[in-house]
Amino acid sequence: MKQGRNRAVIPVTPRGFKDVLPGEARWRESIISKTRKTLALWGYAPIETPTLEVLEVLEQGGTLTSTPFRLFDTDNELLVLRPDVTLQVARMAASRLKKEDLPLRLRYVERIYREEESQRGLSRQLTQIGVEAIGFSGMYADAEMVLLLVDTLRAAGLTDFTIALGTVGVLRELLELCVESKAVDEAWSAELIKAFHAGNYVAIEQLTNAPGLDARYVEILRVLPTISGKSEAVERVRKMVAPLGIVNGLEQLYDTYTIIEGAGLAPQVNIDFSVVSAFDYYTGLVIEAYAPGLGKALGSGGRYDRMLEGFGISAPAAGFAVSLESIMQALLNEDAAEQQEDTSDTLTVTISDGNPAEAFIKAKYLRSQGKVVTLEPENGTRHERRPLLLPMRRFSNE
Amino acid sequence: MSNTNENPQMNNTTEDPQINKTEGSPHMNKLVGSPLMKKIGKGPQVKKPRPLKIAVPKGALFADSVRLLTLAGLDTTGLDDPGRQLIIETEDCRFFIVRPTDVPIFASLGGVDCAICGHDSLAEQELDMVEMVDLKFGACRFIVAEPKDASNKAEDRYQRRGVMRVATKYPTITQAYYDSKGIQVEIVKLHGNIELAPFCGLADRVVDITATGETLRENNLVIVDEVLESTARFVGNTASVRTDARIRALAERLASLV
């Protein structure tokens, strides 16, 4: 990098970060306030989490996959910019909220930071709107997550979206059986989970070629990620794995789906056994939300009943988070983006040099009537923007 | 485009795509994807699903890709001889002709619903998507090669310098390979004609792709190790695979053909 004395530094934001200007900010505010209202109506209480966490503490709850921003503070503590709010809430629930009655229903709107490679059109800062439900489990709790997710997306203004439900229980149990059969080891099992996460069916096929592996396991491992549909998809998997004694999660998924069907949401909600989250902390239900034209899920979540154990207490938990930026992209795709102009009428009150206080009093009265008021001096002393001809010293490397 | 509610219908169309196959006039084909048609398509009475967006890699994999998609029952009229056209519209599909190394980013970001792509590009870019079927064609190998008359020179230099210098078009794969071997490397990324690098002192060895080994022989290079094997794959955008049943159906038909 050349660093000339008089060289101007171009005033840019870091890669993957951006400014939010008033038009967009108003739109963001409006979506956030609508979704907040819905979450509040379901009885979820607001919380805020710190931007920085001690890495070692956060890792007690689960593996952190993408933490690009790490730093040491003056106490020599290794800190991380939050890559995920769920782990923070688990930490909070296990320490600060110990004495609160369960279940706890919590909601948040927070920025999170993730690594994305350069030049792939992706942001490294996202805004998550999310919930955590701690201390209740079973099909009612799972159904609440799904129905609340649907309500949240609808509150944001989306009409065209699909929710995919899966369960990680079947895969976990199946892999345990494979390892117990001694044909394969733990490392193989980790590789296979990785292939499932990555959606790499070819790798699954290659891995299941391992010599000595029971043909029944091979068959199921290969077919599982291709199974999707409505409740009959759960039946299909149940028939397949029942002879092996695997029952984990299927009954509950079926019951949860029955409730969702009963609530009239079957057209928007699918069962999909290829859904395995990138986070290793999930123990049962996994949820992903998709909208047409968005290559990635716009929201995801599930059940993580063992996460709090890492922080020293035992309580079931579930939750989800949706990305505000993805919702906005989906709304644009639906042509449902809100008018970004400020439509409220702005009144202007002129300040007279003779009695300036009068204008401020008048403006205060108008504001109390709900009007938007700005003040302008009598003689109009507006500043013009002038580009500087000399190198911009302010931004130079001096 | 309320495709969520139309999934069952999509399923039906994919089971026997020939039913929908018509010799649409070019004019009609243009109309299918036009904004006007999309607007009309929003009405609840119109059941026709939006065209499936498929990326086809140009170059070595192109002919076999088109052949396989045709065998799978897709209407590929116009795709076999596209001329300079990059987008080919048929009744149910919109084909995009894409540079092979760009296919993964198209599929990953949802620019297309599904695609045919070499495993080499996928392994190099490590992007999010569903790798569904090994199509078995387009086989090639990643190899490590060095000049024929310079055997052991690279090893010797590595002993002295403590680092191997390797030229390649595939830095991620190369780094992963040498990491697994415990060898420190300096990678020189080139965009083509990798074979030149060892002959002008740019690198000790090269990591490159070869199908027959012909180019290597002609350029006086010998293979010293195998890195990985690659074939063409059928891949899908994660969101599309989970919301559009046509992609899984197509994957099943392709799997039955190879």
SS3 A115: coil
Same domain, A218 and A322: yes
Domain assignment of residue A2, yes or no: no
- Retrieve residue B137's tokens: 């064609």
Query: What's the pLDDT band for B42 if we cut at 50, 70, 90?
Result: very low
How many CB atoms are closer than 10 A to CB B72?
A: 19
Q: So what's the pLDDT on residue A157?
A: 94
Give the pLDDT confidence score for residue A61 in this predicted structure: 86
Alpha carbon separation from A115 to A55, A64, A66, A363, B174 (Å, rounded)? 16, 11, 6, 47, 22
A163-207 tens-digit pLDDT? 999 998 889 889 999 999 888 998 998 889 888 888 899 999 999
Summarised one tens digit per residue, pLDDT across range B1-40 is 344 444 444 444 444 434 343 444 444 444 444 444 444 4
Give the pLDDT confidence of A195-240 residue by residue, as tens digits: 888 889 999 999 999 888 899 999 999 999 989 999 999 999 999 9
Question: Considering only CA atoms, which of A238, A281, A279, A230 is closest in space to residue A258?
Answer: A230
A160 contacts in chain B (CB < 8 Å): 1-4
pLDDT reported for residue B45: 45
Residues A375 and A282 in one domain: no
pLDDT band at A64 (very low <50, low <70, confident <90, very high): confident
Sheet of B205-210, strands arranged across = B185-189, B164-168, B205-210, B140-147, B221-230
Question: How many other C-beta atoms can be found within 10 angstroms of the C-beta atom of residue B58?
Answer: 16
Measured distance CA(B255)–CA(B258) in Å, rounded: 6
Nearest-CA residue of chain B relative to A162? B4
Hey, which residues 219-258 in chain A have their CB within 8 Å of chain B?
Answer: 226, 228
Q: How many angstroms away from the CA of A393 is the closest CA of chain B?
A: 37
The ipTM value here is 0.74
- Report chain A residues whose CB lies below 8 A from the CB of B239: 290-291, 294-297
Taking the CA of residue A279 and the nearest CA in chain B, the distance in Å comes to 14
* Residue of chain B whose Cα is closest to the Cα of A226: B248
Residues A291 and A363 in one domain: no
Residue A387 forms part of a structural domain: yes
Residue A263 pLDDT exceeds 90? yes
Taken in order B228, B231, B237, B238, the sign of the CA dihedral is negative
Nearest CB to A202: which of B4, B233, B248?
Answer: B233
First to last CA, chain B: 33
Cβ-defined contact of B238 to A297 (cutoff 8 Å): yes
Q: CB-based contact (8 Å) between B180 and chain A?
A: no
The answer to whether residues A236 and A364 belong to one domain is no
Say if residue A223 is in the same domain as residue A365. no
In terms of domains, do A318 and A367 share one?
Answer: no
Distance (Å, rounded) from C-alpha A95 to C-alpha A88?
11
| CA neighbor of A133 nearest in space, from A118, A154, A147 | A147
pLDDT at A364 over 70: yes
Does residue B3 belong to the interface with chain A, where contact is any CB pair within 8 Å? yes
Buried (b) or exposed (e) across A272-281, using 16+ Cβ within 10 A? bbbbbbebeb
**Would residue A196 be called left, alpha or beta, if left means φ above 0 and alpha means ψ between -120 and 50 degrees?**
alpha
- Domain of A378? 346-395
Distance from CA of B127 to the nearest CA of A (A): 9
Nearest-by-Cβ selection for A296 from B111, B128, B251: B128
- Note whether A228 contacts B4, CB cutoff 8 Å: no
Question: Does the distance separating the beta carbons of A199 and B130 come in below 8 Å?
Answer: yes
Could you tell me if A376 and A272 lie in one domain?
A: no
Whether the CB of B233 is below 8 Å from some CB of chain A: the reply is yes
How many helices, marked H, and strands, marked E, lie in chain B?
11, 11
Based on the fold, state whether residues A30 and A122 are members of the same structural domain.
yes
Structural domains counted in chain A: 2
pLDDT score at A344: 64
> Shortest Cα distance from B2 to chain A (angstroms)?
6
Q: From residue B160, how far is each of A133, B83, B106, B187, B224 by CA, in Å?
A: 60, 53, 44, 18, 20
> What residue type is assigned to position A259 of the chain?
I
The values of phi and psi at residue A11, to 5°, are -75, 80
The structure tokens listed for B219 are: 């350029």
Angle at alpha carbon of residue B99, lines to B96 and B105, rounded to 5°: 80
Interface test with A, best of B242, B252, B253, B256 (most A CBs within 10 A): B242
Mean pLDDT computed over B135-157: 87
- Both A280 and A369 in one domain: the answer is no
Q: State how far the Cα of B160 lies from the Cα of A384, in Å rounded to an integer.
A: 65
Query: Which residues have CB under 8 Å from A212's CB, separation 6+?
Result: A181, A182, A183
Who contacts A294 (Cβ-Cβ below 8 Å, separation ≥6)? Answer: A326, A329, A330, A333, B110, B239
Do A285 and A220 have their domain in common?
Answer: yes
Domain ranges of chain B: 7-138+232-257, 140-230
Cβ-in-10-Å burial (0-12, 13-18, 19+) of B20 comes to middle
CATH entry 3.40.50.11030 includes domain B140-230:
no
In whole numbers, what is the pLDDT of chain A averaged over residues?
88
CATH number at A89 reads: 3.30.930.10
CB contact under 8 A, B131 and A202: yes
From residue A22, alpha-carbon distances to A340, A342, B20 in Å are: 9, 9, 48
Whether B7-138+232-257 shares its CATH topology with B140-230 is answered: yes
The answer to whether residue A267 neighbours chain B at the CB level (below 8 Å) is yes
Residue A15 lies in a domain: no
pLDDT tier at A271, thresholds 50, 70, 90? very high
DSSP A27-61: HHHHHHHHHHHHHHHTTPEE----SEEEHHHHTTS
Tokens of B65: 């890709």
The DSSP annotation for A224-273 comes to GGG-EESHHHHHHHHHHHGGGT--TTHHHHHHHHHHHHHTT-GGGEEEET
Asked if residue A125 belongs to a domain, the reply is yes
Residue B101 CA to residue B191 CA, distance in Å, equals: 11
> Tell me, what's the pLDDT at B120?
92
Does residue B24 sit at the A interface (CB-CB below 8 Å)?
no
- Residue A6 belongs to some domain of the structure: no
Task: Pick from B94, B241, B254 the residue to mutate for testing the A interface (most A CBs within 10 Å).
Answer: B241
Residues A26 and A150 grouped into a single domain: yes
Three-state helix/strand/coil letters over A206-224: HHCCCCCCCHHHHHHHHHH
In this structure, is residue A5 part of a structural domain?
Answer: no
| Interchain CB distance below 8 Å, B242 and A198 | no
CA distance A18 to chain B (A): 20
What is the rounded CA–CA span in Å between residue B214 and residue B197? 17
State whether A162 and B4 contact (CB < 8 Å).
yes
Q: What is the pLDDT of residue B36?
A: 45
Q: What is the percent of chain B where pLDDT is above 70? A: 81
Q: Check B252 against A226: CB less than 8 A apart.
A: yes
CA separation for the pair A231, A71 (Å, rounded): 47
Contacts of A164 in chain B (CB under 8 A): 242-243
**CB–CB of B131 and A201 under 8 A?**
yes
Give A161's pLDDT tier (boundaries 50, 70, 90).
very high
Burial A332-343 (b: 16+ CB within 10 A, else e): ebbeeeeeeeee
Within 13 Å of residue B16, how many CA atoms lie on the same side as its CB? Answer: 1
Judge: A200–B5 Cβ closer than 8 Å, yes or no.
no
Q: Is the pLDDT of residue A325 over 50?
A: yes
- Look at the domain B7-138+232-257 and name its fold: D-Maltodextrin-Binding Protein; domain 2 (3.40.190)
Q: Are residues A145 and A273 in the same domain?
A: yes
Task: Return the half-sphere exposure (C-beta side, CA atoms, 13 A cut-off) of residue B77.
Answer: 13
Angstroms from A63 CA to nearest CA on chain B: 19
* Partner residue opposite A294 with nearest CB, options B110, B131, B133: B110
Please state, in angstroms and rounded to a whole number, the distance separating the CA atoms of residues B22 and A24.
45
Contact assignment for A202 to B105 by CB distance below 8 Å: no
Number of alpha carbons in the 13 Å side-chain half-sphere of residue A172: 16
Query: Residue A200 gets which letter from DSSP?
Result: B
Task: Please tell me the least confidently modeled range out of A123-127, A283-287, A363-367, B24-28.
Answer: B24-28
**Integer Cα distance of A30 and A336 in angstroms:** 13
The arithmetic mean of pLDDT across residues A115-142, rounded, is 87
- Binned at pLDDT 50, 70 and 90, residue B158 comes out as confident
DSSP assignment of B145-205: EEEGGGTTHHHHHHHHHS-EEEEES-HHHHHHHHHHHT--EEEEE-SS-GGGGGGGTS-SE
Alpha-carbon distance A194 to A175, whole Å?
12
Cβ pair B184, B157 in contact under 8 A: no
Which of B3, B233, B237 faces A295 most closely, judged by CB atoms?
A: B237
Per-residue pLDDT, averaged over B63-67, amounts to: 95
pTM for the model? 0.79
